[in-house]
Amino acid sequence: MATKKTTTATKTAPAKNASAKKPAAKKQPAPKTAKATSVKKPAATKTTDKKMSQMDAALAVLKKARKPMSCKEMVEAMATAKLWTSPGGKTPDATLYAAILRDLRKGTDARFKKAAPGRFTNA
């Protein structure tokens, strides 16, 4: 079998002219200006305007009670003292329990200590 060579015209994309491409514009650095010196603000003090977190409120309740408490007791004491109220959750005591267990993993930096199963004190 003899093979016959045929030539076919193929269309190729026109070559782009290298001179048609525009060079990328270099960004000019912003001019340096003198920084204004700022006056240091005094250290922030705790105000009653800011809401207390659940963990901070639990710690305050434990310090006041001076005895080991369960999470349910702490949540009730926080609500009674108007330190913290649940934003609408169904199980704020379970949320507090989980947060305290996360805090206990910090070791010596933990703010809570486990006194008995389900009962905690401040560190």
Which pLDDT belongs to residue 14? 59
Which residues lie below 8 Å from residue 93, measured CB to CB, with a gap of 6+? 70, 71, 72, 74, 75
Closest CA to 100 of 76, 117, 79, 87: 117
22-79 pLDDT, tens digit per residue, is 666 677 776 666 666 666 666 655 555 678 999 999 999 999 999 999 999 999 999 9
Query: Pairing mode, if any, of strands 119-122 and 112-116?
Result: antiparallel
Of 44-58, 73-87, 97-111, which gets the smallest average pLDDT?
A: 44-58
Which pLDDT belongs to residue 20? 59
- Residue 56 has which token pair? 């901070």
Q: Which amino acid is at 109?
A: D
Alpha helices in the chain (DSSP H): 54-65, 71-80, 92-104
What pTM was estimated for this model as a whole?
0.59
